[in-house]
Structure 1
Amino acid sequence: MKRWLKMAAGAAAITLATAGCAGSGSGDSTNSSAAASNGSLTVWLMTGTAPEALTNSLHKEFEDAHPGVKVKYEIQQWNGIQQKLTTALASDNPPDVIELGNTQTPAFANQGVLADLTSSVNDFNGAQWLQGLKASGEFDGKTYGVPFYAANREVIYRKDMFEQAGITATPKTRTEWLDAITKLKAKFGSDPEFQALYHPGQNWYELLSYIWDEGGDIAQANGKSFKSTLDSAQAKAGLEFYKQLTDASGTKAPKDADEATPQQAGIYGAGKVAMMIGVPGEVDTAAKTDPKIKEKSGAFAIPGKTADKSAPVFLGGSNLVIPANSKNAAAAKDYVKLFSTPKYQTELAKAGYVPGTSTDVSALDANPLTKVMAEASKNGRAVPTSPKWGDVESGQNPIKDMLTAYLTGTKTLDQATADANAALDKLIGG
């Protein structure tokens, strides 16, 4: 999750040429007279998350509404944050507001170190919450995390190559996508370095889109635990399409690594790749190789089985939580309430994120790449809210192993999915 959030944070580097609709202000969120017991409110946000101009404005408005209270704002690094959070949340004097990755939230909720915010959902603009992130902040029927921001993958493509290949419209279905690949290979395939789609073998977040689009999932809730479903017919169909796309793409990407090894943005920026599946901020990274790549790039949502809707996408992002042992819980709720208002959610959108507590994403429309991302996020989902999910991502990820085994022919479809299902069950099943 750490790596994905770093990728999502890259979206914050996108500078929008024009602002979208202005926020409607902070409402009545600052009318509370709640005060911090020790005269300060400690807030931990992660590096690259909220722009400095946003936090400066937010903290001034909060402090003006809470005389005598100062916000102690501390920016944290992703490297080593898990242990730091574990120590802080178990202490008698933790920070008062913390940003948690959306796959971290259930684990800490299960440990009993997060405040139950269920009764305050409406205070945090709950009716406008991004549904995919909403689920990641819930555990055992209660709400512990308030959606903060999200980012999701899309297909980033070379507009000039599409035009030269005679592709007049971006693909809406899987079939149209494969047809576009055929046309690109016909036009540029004489170049041995050309790749119609750079497609690494272990991009399992992308695989989720195809499994969900088939109506399946990787695991389902079974009481307070989860039962793996990687061996279902729907999961197998999603995996089969992943292989079909890989085989058709002409990719030279390794089958035993993900999109960060090597960094796919640099490969895309080298000019021999027509498409990659990533977040908008990766185009900025690609521009370090070729500054002109930004003006050459467009985006479309990951195509679905049918043209009426794009494939569901994995939402990577963060939640805001309040530790159970916070000495300043009332003031902390006021802080999160203020952050949840349209005024500051619009500022997050201007920074290139999909806001967590607002359905107004018009500020993302100014950039074609973020506009597509925002539209696709409406059909976004999170991984299973298992408190043990961190073990999947930090260890030997069985979904990655399944992809490599099937793509390389080491295992059949049935064997690869059966083995991955058993391994995932051991991690999150009980």
Structure 2
Amino acid sequence: MKRWMKLATGIAAISLATAGCAGSGGSGEAPASNAPQQISGDLTVWLMTGSAPDTLTSALHKEFQDANPGVKIKYEIQQWNGIQQKLTTALASQTPPDVIELGNTQTPAFASESVLADVTDSVNDFNGAQWLKGLKDSATFDGKQYGVPFYAANREVLYRKDMFEQAGITTPPASNDEWLAAIDKLKTKFGSDPEFQPLYLPGQYWYAYLSFLWDQGGDIAKADGKKFKSTLNTPEAKAALEFYKKLVDASGTKAPKDNDEANPQQSGIYGGGKVAMFIGTPGEVATAAKTDPTIKDKTGAFAVPGKSAGKSAPVFLGGSNLAIPLNSKNQAAAKAYIKLLSSQKYQTEIAKGGFVPGTSTDISALSSDPYASVMAKAAQNGRAVPSSPNWGNVESGQNPLKDMLTAYLTGAKSADQATGDANSALDKLLAGS
């Protein structure tokens, strides 16, 4: 989980310097042919470290080569450090790999540079009827499909079961009102300890804000042709901002208002034993257990509550897509490979690894995990950030959502000022300024 979060929080903007760098293709579409394509030759596959266990890829490659004896697979595991530049260089060449794994916030940027094959006509071959909308959207650009969901993960509320029990909370909160009521009960029970925090919530945790924004019916930005216009100054965005502040004020969290969940690492704070809840990914429980090995057995999970009772808030889906470079010399084999990897058989193996499967709605393999099962159910109501090729500018630079949250929580700006300024700043970034 720590690995995929790097994708969701640190994607750099992509810039391919010359118009001809995509090779002779340029249109972003795979060559069309009515004649049957023979699957043979070398197939170079780049997957990222930690994405697929060796047992999965060994079985996958054996099955693929048994069915296609004319194909030789060159499987190369890539490291996250430096992958942005390595992909940029490879995709601009005439000899890129044939199958690549991309972070789902990277995909629109590469698609806009016309270096990925358009796989719109092959979606059904990749089990497209079962794709979650949020995952499909992350691999869509200008109405066309340039990637196939591989896997995802999302946030949930992780909580101390023992503290809830002692505070008289018999069932996890299922609405915003119930969440606030649980905070009150926890304060009543443990509030005499000055270090206690019912909910640890950093001021710049914009991924949490997205859940509240979408739950209010708002969005970050709306498509305007091939461009996007920010919608952070809407009544829905202001309502989400006000609810965020209500949570912060009610909990009395000691988290910084001018930093995010990684600074300091919130799982480490939770592991210290003075926090009853935080919004995080299942993998953060293991990190907390490095501080307190007993905390894993004490921790439960519930979906981020929504404003309507019994309906959880939408969550941001972070993860990876599979794509075929436009200049791949073996696109027929690449499609066959992705077709097999996106099948129920191998997506079940992805789920067993603790991820939400990208091309399957069958999450039964996660049912025995108390954290992953909640995550997977919440993912059914998952969303993606705007599929703007300039989204990298938002995450790698001065993120307007972070500035907005800090300004409002500290009282430096009113809700109108904070959302208005963020809206203007986001518009500039999405326009490439």
- Give the TM-score taking structure 1 as reference length: 0.92
In the alignment, the residues of structure 2 paired with residue 255 and residue 405 of structure 1 have an alpha-carbon distance, to the nearest angstrom, of 9
- Aligned counterpart for 1:65 among listed residues 64, 67, 70: 67
SS, match of residue 221 in structure 1? strand
2:37, 2:332 within 8 Å by CA — same for their partners in 1?
no
Partner of 2:102: 100
In the alignment, the residues of structure 2 paired with residue 259 and residue 125 of structure 1 have an alpha-carbon distance, to the nearest angstrom, of 35
Cα offset for 1:79? 1.9
Cα offset for 1:74? 1.4
SS, match of residue 324 in structure 1? coil
> Which residues of 2 match residues 29-428 of structure 1 at below 5 A?
34-36=38-40, 39-428=41-430
In the alignment, the residues of structure 1 paired with residue 414 and residue 4 of structure 2 have an alpha-carbon distance, to the nearest angstrom, of 29
Deviations 1:317-344 (A, max 9, x none): 1110000000010000011000010000
1:8, 1:281 within 8 Å by CA — same for their partners in 2?
no
In the alignment, the residues of structure 1 paired with residue 304 and residue 116 of structure 2 have an alpha-carbon distance, to the nearest angstrom, of 35
2:219, 2:231 within 8 Å by CA — same for their partners in 1?
yes
Deviations 1:113-146 (A, max 9, x none): 0001011011101111122100111111111110
In the alignment, the residues of structure 2 paired with residue 190 and residue 340 of structure 1 have an alpha-carbon distance, to the nearest angstrom, of 53
2:7, 2:318 within 8 Å by CA — same for their partners in 1?
no
CA separation of 1:164 and 1:34: change in aligned 2, threshold 3 A: farther
Tell which deviates more after alignment, 74-83 or 138-147.
74-83
Cα offset for 1:172? 0.5
The code of the aligned residue for 1:231 comes to N
Cα offset for 1:2? 9.4
Deviations 1:29-80 (A, max 9, x none): xxx98434xx321111112111111111111111211214222111222222
1:34, 1:66 within 8 Å by CA — same for their partners in 2?
no
Partner of 2:31: none
Deviations 1:133-185 (A, max 9, x none): 00111111111110111100000000000000000111011010001001101
In the alignment, the residues of structure 2 paired with residue 103 and residue 280 of structure 1 have an alpha-carbon distance, to the nearest angstrom, of 21
* Structure 1: gaps of 5 or more residues: 10-31
2:2, 2:283 within 8 Å by CA — same for their partners in 1?
no
Partner of 2:22: none
Deviations 1:75-113 (A, max 9, x none): 222222111111111100001101111110001111100
The code of the aligned residue for 1:239 comes to L
Partner of 1:19: none
CA separation of 1:156 and 1:34: change in aligned 2, threshold 3 A: farther
In the alignment, the residues of structure 2 paired with residue 52 and residue 247 of structure 1 have an alpha-carbon distance, to the nearest angstrom, of 47
SS, match of residue 368 in structure 1? coil
What is the CA RMSD across the aligned residues, in angstroms? 1.7
SS, match of residue 159 in structure 2? strand
2:7, 2:319 within 8 Å by CA — same for their partners in 1?
no
Aligned sequence identity (%): 75
1:7, 1:279 within 8 Å by CA — same for their partners in 2?
no
In the alignment, the residues of structure 2 paired with residue 40 and residue 201 of structure 1 have an alpha-carbon distance, to the nearest angstrom, of 50
Deviations 1:173-206 (A, max 9, x none): 1010001001101111111111111111111011
CA separation of 1:72 and 1:110: change in aligned 2, threshold 3 A: same
1:113, 1:324 within 8 Å by CA — same for their partners in 2?
yes
The code of the aligned residue for 1:35 comes to I
CA separation of 1:226 and 1:2: change in aligned 2, threshold 3 A: farther
In the alignment, the residues of structure 1 paired with residue 327 and residue 7 of structure 2 have an alpha-carbon distance, to the nearest angstrom, of 31
2:7, 2:105 within 8 Å by CA — same for their partners in 1?
no
2:219, 2:232 within 8 Å by CA — same for their partners in 1?
yes
In the alignment, the residues of structure 1 paired with residue 4 and residue 129 of structure 2 have an alpha-carbon distance, to the nearest angstrom, of 27
Count, aligned residues: 406
In the alignment, the residues of structure 1 paired with residue 37 and residue 271 of structure 2 have an alpha-carbon distance, to the nearest angstrom, of 52
Deviations 1:365-416 (A, max 9, x none): 0111111101100000000000100110011111111111111111111111
The code of the aligned residue for 1:331 comes to A
Tell which deviates more after alignment, 157-166 or 239-248.
239-248
In the alignment, the residues of structure 1 paired with residue 52 and residue 331 of structure 2 have an alpha-carbon distance, to the nearest angstrom, of 22
* Structure 2: gaps of 5 or more residues: 10-35
In the alignment, the residues of structure 2 paired with residue 263 and residue 338 of structure 1 have an alpha-carbon distance, to the nearest angstrom, of 38
The code of the aligned residue for 1:327 comes to K
The code of the aligned residue for 1:404 comes to T
Cα offset for 1:6? 4.0
In the alignment, the residues of structure 1 paired with residue 72 and residue 171 of structure 2 have an alpha-carbon distance, to the nearest angstrom, of 53
The code of the aligned residue for 2:140 comes to E
